[in-house]
Amino acid sequence: MIFLFTDFGASDIYVGQVKAVLQEHAPKVPVIDLLHDAPRFNVTAGAHLLAALAARLLRESVTLAVVDPGVGGSREPVAVRADGRWFVGPDNGLISVAAARAKQIEVFSIGWRPRYLSASFHGRDLFAPVSAMLAQGDRQTPKLKKAALAVGFGPDDLSEVIYVDHFENLVTGLRASGLPRKSRLVVKGRWIVHARVFSDVPAGEAFWYENSIGLAEIAANSDHAAAKLGLRIGDAVGVGE
Amino acid sequence: MIFLFTDFGASDIYVGQVKAVLQEHAPKVPVIDLLHDAPRFNVTAGAHLLAALAARLLRESVTLAVVDPGVGGSREPVAVRADGRWFVGPDNGLISVAAARAKQIEVFSIGWRPRYLSASFHGRDLFAPVSAMLAQGDRQTPKLKKAALAVGFGPDDLSEVIYVDHFENLVTGLRASGLPRKSRLVVKGRWIVHARVFSDVPAGEAFWYENSIGLAEIAANSDHAAAKLGLRIGDAVGVGE
Amino acid sequence: MIFLFTDFGASDIYVGQVKAVLQEHAPKVPVIDLLHDAPRFNVTAGAHLLAALAARLLRESVTLAVVDPGVGGSREPVAVRADGRWFVGPDNGLISVAAARAKQIEVFSIGWRPRYLSASFHGRDLFAPVSAMLAQGDRQTPKLKKAALAVGFGPDDLSEVIYVDHFENLVTGLRASGLPRKSRLVVKGRWIVHARVFSDVPAGEAFWYENSIGLAEIAANSDHAAAKLGLRIGDAVGVGE
């Protein structure tokens, strides 16, 4: 299975071009869109979101992961094998949190280059063909060489809002497994208490809960937490009791 | 075939996780996104939209239908077989209009539970695996038991705007088959006459027509009806002559 | 392979219905969404965007191309074979730029009609079944007859903004292969110089570059060019030195 995690936009002209390449090179491998609206220009937030999502993906899958404001610049393409899952993308930190949290990890530089490499769309021209090769078990063609990540954010949590979903819930970079339920989150001087589910709090009230990918998430029952609390991606999230 | 009808957001992190589960459990069954921007927090509108869409779906299909503001609360999961089509989702009314309009209907409670059931994402953890089972003809594993729907909205039309599409056309809950073409729709004191197609009225003029899923829809030729008329989901729609 | 290029909206109720028909009629043919947010009501811009995208598609593919403000009116359905690629859609100019740039072209009227043809959704009722037939090599059932396009925009570039992507980059209808790199683009009295990639200019600075589908595109490094420059689809783009 090939998963796609990008900031190419779910409604834009880019994802289809990537899928056409994958279909051509690996016609029997199913392709699943994990997210195409990863935080733009924000590789750190994207890295933490990807790490949380990836922990639940099937092993023996390949994730094409591209948030790449430096495309065409000097960052190198990498392939990372973390606990059995492949990640293919730019060496700019995006894959590094998932990698740092894995028990078994191998990092490879990618020596293969396509005949035509556009300046701005390595997702289509380079990362998609390499993902197709790896998904079919071919480690030869992409010319992998053992390497190390040039940019790494480490395994630790990120005390920030890393994603706002379409319900305007605020996903944080804090793993809920490390937070006692009596913890309160602090955002812009406001204290947010824990609740198990939406229906446990009155309509309109803000609370935090362990979301479905294991992160602490701030929501408001039947309301839009982001607008209500005036928060967006990158805003700091503190922890108190 | 498995159809998805949800309010998970077409661009968000949720649909991909559902599809990963479906792919894992029913790798040979095609999955088609019917809609992931069903009216939020509005189960009644969603139920009427689903009923209109579902009437045109292939029999022998499974529709995972989730608009579930009460997830984690007390509503039960159900599987409904209506005129040969399966619907899987929460027993909160969402499936009830499609069910009430069917000639042959069977309602089942779902006894199966996954090893891990998140508090907020039963679409991924419960409804997706059950949909995969039913799509493969397996009625044993989901532990179905004959039951009745706890929440039902009945088969009648809904005299409201139930959906606004990206053209800003206003879909109503009125089936056009029951409306003579000389009928006028009344919205906010304004009378809207019938036209067969967009190109039959002058640019900018509002009209109603039978849309492609059999509902009365209010549009404006080359214009945005919702903004032009100041209407949104839930607004009342009257019928006059 | 079947590609979809429409203005049906990536998040709306229409694409799923098209895919259900394709799945029913051509279950083994992969379907890829190229774009569902083609410029609305702007067939000229769409025609130039489609031509640029299509030049990179696999030969022996079928593209269902629908931007059709005149649906239900008098324009005819056509199938065009251009350099080995099929295009199926309304004869309103949308396919005409791709056709005019092809070396080998055949144009056919479509004689086949479905049992039920809605007034507003020929994409689902007519173009999808015909695309499925052609994708499976069946030229008999659609009742093709040699014809000529009634509406043609010709092969020349379009000196306008034809698309704004979700990064707010401005795609023009000018093919970059015809523009010396020292050329400057002129938009609203402002001169825009060339750069190879985003990372070659300071943050916030506007530039033009050859984008990944061969068109001149105006962008701003880590900024939103459309908002920054006050431009939108249809605005004129001049070329100077």
Q: Binning pLDDT at 50, 70 and 90, where does residue C111 land? A: very high
Interface contact flag, B3 C11, Cβ < 8 Å: no
Q: What is the pLDDT of residue C101?
A: 97
pLDDT band with cut points at 50, 70 and 90 for residue C182: very high
Residue B161's pLDDT band (boundaries 50, 70, 90)?
very high
- pLDDT category of residue C73 using cuts at 50, 70 and 90: confident
Residue C222 in this model has a pLDDT that exceeds 90: no
Judged against a pLDDT cut of 90, whether residue B139 lies above it is answered with yes
Handedness of CA A18, A23, A26, A28 (dihedral sign): positive
Say which of C57, C165, C212 has its CB closest to residue A9: C165
Average pLDDT, chain C: 95
DSSP H helices in A30-144: 43-54, 96-101, 122, 128-135
Q: Stretch C165-175: mean pLDDT, rounded? A: 96
With a cut of 80, say whether residue C102 has pLDDT above it.
yes
User: Which residues of chain A lie closer than 8 angstroms to B24, CB-CB?
Assistant: 58
pLDDT band at B203 (very low <50, low <70, confident <90, very high): confident
Residue-level pLDDT at A119 = 87
Q: Give the mean model confidence (pLDDT) for residues C83-112.
A: 97
Q: Looking at the predicted structure, is the pLDDT value of residue B70 above 90?
A: no
Q: What is the pLDDT of residue B228?
A: 93
DSSP annotation of A125 reads I
State how far the Cα of B47 lies from the Cα of B34, in Å rounded to an integer. 14
Identify the pLDDT of residue C152.
97
- Which pLDDT band holds residue C70 (cuts at 50, 70, 90)? confident
Interface confidence (ipTM) of the complex? 0.96
Q: Which residues of C touch B (CB under 8 A)?
A: 9-17, 19-20, 23-24, 27, 40-41, 69-73, 118-121, 124-125
Query: Which residues, given as ranges, of chain A have pLDDT below 50?
Result: none
What residue ranges in A83-157 does DSSP mark as E strands? 85-90, 105-110, 144-146
> Residue A234 has what DSSP assignment?
T
The B184-187 sheet, strands edge to edge: B190-192, B184-187, B238-240
**For A209, which of B40, B119, B124 is closest by C-beta distance?**
B119
User: Which pLDDT score, from 0 to 100, does residue B9 have?
Assistant: 97
B49 interaction partners in chain C (CB closer than 8 Å): 13
Which pLDDT tens digit goes with each residue over C114-132? 999 998 899 999 999 999 9
Whether pLDDT at B77 is above 90: yes
| Cβ separation B12–A37 shorter than 8 A | yes
pLDDT digits (tens, 9 = 90+) for B78-120: 999 999 999 999 999 999 999 999 999 999 999 999 999 998 8
Please list every residue in chain A whose beta carbon sits closer than 8 Å to the beta carbon of residue C196. 72, 119
Give the tokens for residue B4: 């998805």
Q: Which of A11, A20, A40 sits opposite C37 (nearest CB)?
A: A11
Residue B69 has pLDDT above 80, yes or no: yes
- In sign, the C-alpha dihedral spanning B176, B49, A13, C135 is negative
What pLDDT score does C49 carry? 98
What end-to-end distance do the CA atoms of chain C give, in Å? 42
- Do the bridges between strand A238-240 and strand A184-187 make them parallel or antiparallel, or are there none, so unpaired? antiparallel
Which residues does A contribute to its contact with B (CB < 8 Å)? 1, 3, 9-11, 30, 32-37, 49, 53, 56-58, 163, 165-167, 196-200, 209-213, 222
pLDDT above 90 as % of chain C: 88
- Residue that wins the pLDDT comparison between B25 and A57: B25
pLDDT value at position B67? 96
pLDDT in tens, C17-65: 999 999 999 999 999 999 999 998 899 999 999 999 999 888 889 999 9
Which tokens is A176 given? 């809920």
